[in-house]
């Protein structure tokens, strides 16, 4: 007989710390046992059993074959009621490994945090990822998408038993919140900035997709007109050194702060003046959600995740990622017009509280979970 237990799978365990603790806590509150399977030995709350898998982020690593067999053994032995998988490689391996368990009644859920194939994606992405996702949809009881475009695409092209849309992973609106101007100035001073320094903020890994270079180029166009401007880049990654060299070569090395990985974003973000987000591809980005919750206007590149969150002339703008002049113009406008900054920030905060807070997402996700928790399925239901 199946016991009330759920297995969460992903490539790395940090994924759960960053995005899923409220949902694991919810399962514990329902009296369920919570197991995790991922690479890493991080200790996490609300977890009864944790498996450190051989899984690798690159899909082409031989160790992923070993991870597949590890997952299959765990799933067949533990007899879970629900398996919820995340991340591209975690989603592939877990759904393949769960085929036998699924025949025995386990329900398999997969959250797509942004399909690699989407409108405007390179043809190679469609060739590599679409057939795989189409095949895996047959082994998925519920496919959860986190933006409107992926939801429409999944409904049109994928044959999962059920397809749902939730508004991302949620943001803690009590942790990320706006501060008064007096408080903002105090915070700036405590970090060594002047109250009139104009701070741009972007938290992202340094990789090709996150595209920090466009921000550094835009800064170079603004350095004469806004001498008190600073670009704060939080995160680590393989392209950080390249970005540091680019900043130096454009004469803005002294205006870019490379902050490294930051645990204390709630105490950094609200002191900033504008959030910038230059990535080429996004599902529904947490960094933008957190910036909106903190009351910042957002200048972002045009992609499906940003389009869903950033509404032109309401809480910011989405721009062509290659149009550096347009980036510098919008940033300059926000610098000159404090009232626009404040209005956009207020509008973004309202969007978070009405639609994207953890409380709202927990309600959506628990609605989905409940339909699989008692082992029966309801034909007509939805959270979209």
Per residue in 341-365, pLDDT (tens digit) is 999 999 999 999 999 999 999 999 9
- One domain for residues 201 and 256: yes
Residue 213 lies in a domain: yes
Average pLDDT score over residue span 97-107: 96
Band (121; pLDDT cuts 50, 70, 90)? low
Tokens representing 317 are 């703008």
- One domain for residues 68 and 210: no
What per-residue confidence (pLDDT) applies to 123?
72
- One domain for residues 186 and 163: no
Band (84; pLDDT cuts 50, 70, 90)? very high
Of residues 61 and 290, more confidence is placed in 290
- One domain for residues 31 and 78: yes
Average pLDDT score over residue span 86-108: 94
- One domain for residues 204 and 253: yes
Strands 49-52 and 82-85 come out as unpaired
Band (381; pLDDT cuts 50, 70, 90)? very low
Residue 186 lies in a domain: yes
What per-residue confidence (pLDDT) applies to 131?
85
Please determine, for residue 330, whether its predicted confidence score (pLDDT) is greater than 90: yes
What per-residue confidence (pLDDT) applies to 57?
76
Band (380; pLDDT cuts 50, 70, 90)? very low
What per-residue confidence (pLDDT) applies to 375?
56
Please determine, for residue 239, whether its predicted confidence score (pLDDT) is greater than 70: yes
Distance CA 114, CA 95 (A): 17
- One domain for residues 271 and 348: yes
Residue 198 lies in a domain: yes
Place of tokens 């509150």: 29
Of residues 151 and 3, more confidence is placed in 151
Residue 382 lies in a domain: no
- Domain that residue 122 falls in: 5-170+358-373
Average pLDDT score over residue span 229-255: 97
What per-residue confidence (pLDDT) applies to 130?
81
Do residues 144 and 165 lie in contact, with contact meaning Cβ atoms separated by under 8 Å? yes
- One domain for residues 363 and 351: no
Do residues 164 and 152 lie in contact, with contact meaning Cβ atoms separated by under 8 Å? no
- One domain for residues 143 and 263: no
Of residues 334 and 169, more confidence is placed in 334
Average pLDDT score over residue span 300-312: 96
- One domain for residues 282 and 309: yes
Please determine, for residue 120, whether its predicted confidence score (pLDDT) is greater than 70: no
- One domain for residues 117 and 193: no
Please determine, for residue 379, whether its predicted confidence score (pLDDT) is greater than 60: no
- One domain for residues 99 and 28: yes
Residue 225 lies in a domain: yes
DSSP assignment, residue 265?
G
Beta strands in 187-238 (DSSP E): 198-203, 229-234
3-state DSSP assignment of residue 53: coil
Distance CA 363, CA 254 (A): 45
Residue 95 lies in a domain: yes
What per-residue confidence (pLDDT) applies to 122?
67
Count up the domains in the chain and report the number: 2
Residue 384 lies in a domain: no
Distance CA 125, CA 206 (A): 21
Share the mean pLDDT of the chain: 92
Tokens representing 199 are 């701070």
Residue 271 lies in a domain: yes
- Assign residue 249 the CATH number of its domain: 3.40.50.2000
- One domain for residues 207 and 241: yes
């Amino acid at each position: 007989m199946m016991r009330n237990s759920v297995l969460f799978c992903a490539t790395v365990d940090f994924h759960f710390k960053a995005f899923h603790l409220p949902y694991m806590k919810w399962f514990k509150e329902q009296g369920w046992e919570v197991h995790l399977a991922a690479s890493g030995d991080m200790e996490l709350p609300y977890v009864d059993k944790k498996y450190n898998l051989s899984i690798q982020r690159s899909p082409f690593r031989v160790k992923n074959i070993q991870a597949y067999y590890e997952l299959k053994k765990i799933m067949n032995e533990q007899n879970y009621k629900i398996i919820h998988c995340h991340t591209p490689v975690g989603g592939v391996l877990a759904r393949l490994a769960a085929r036998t368990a699924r025949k025995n009644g386990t329900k398999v859920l997969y959250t797509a945090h942004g399909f690699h194939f989407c409108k405007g994606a390179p043809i190679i992405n469609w060739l590599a990822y679409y057939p795989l996702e189409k095949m895996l949809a047959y082994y998925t009881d519920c496919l959860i998408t986190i933006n409107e475009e992926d939801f429409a695409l999944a409904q049109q092209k994928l044959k999962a038993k059920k397809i749902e849309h939730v508004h991302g992973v949620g943001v803690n609106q009590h942790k990320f919140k706006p501060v008064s101007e007096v408080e903002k100035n105090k915070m700036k001073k405590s970090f060594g900035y002047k109250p009139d320094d104009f701070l741009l903020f972007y938290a992202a890994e340094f990789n090709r997709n996150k595209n920090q270079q466009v921000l550094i180029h835009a800064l170079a166009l603004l350095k004469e007109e806004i001498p008190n401007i600073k670009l704060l880049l939080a995160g680590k990654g393989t392209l950080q050194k390249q970005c540091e060299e680019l900043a130096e070569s454009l004469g803005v090395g002294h205006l870019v702060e490379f902050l490294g990985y930051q645990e204390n974003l709630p105490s950094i973000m609200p002191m900033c003046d504008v959030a910038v987000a230059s990535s080429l591809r996004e599902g529904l980005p947490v960094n933008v959600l957190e910036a909106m919750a903190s009351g910042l206007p957002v200048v972002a590149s045009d992609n499906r995740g940003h389009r869903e969150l950033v509404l032109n002339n309401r809480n910011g703008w989405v721009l062509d990622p290659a149009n550096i002049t347009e980036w510098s113009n919008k940033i300059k406008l926000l610098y000159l017009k404090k009232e626009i900054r404040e209005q956009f920030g207020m509008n973004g905060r309202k969007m978070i509280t009405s639609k994207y807070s953890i409380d709202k997402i927990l309600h959506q996700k628990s609605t989905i979970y409940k339909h699989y928790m008692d082992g029966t399925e309801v034909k007509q239901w939805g959270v979209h």
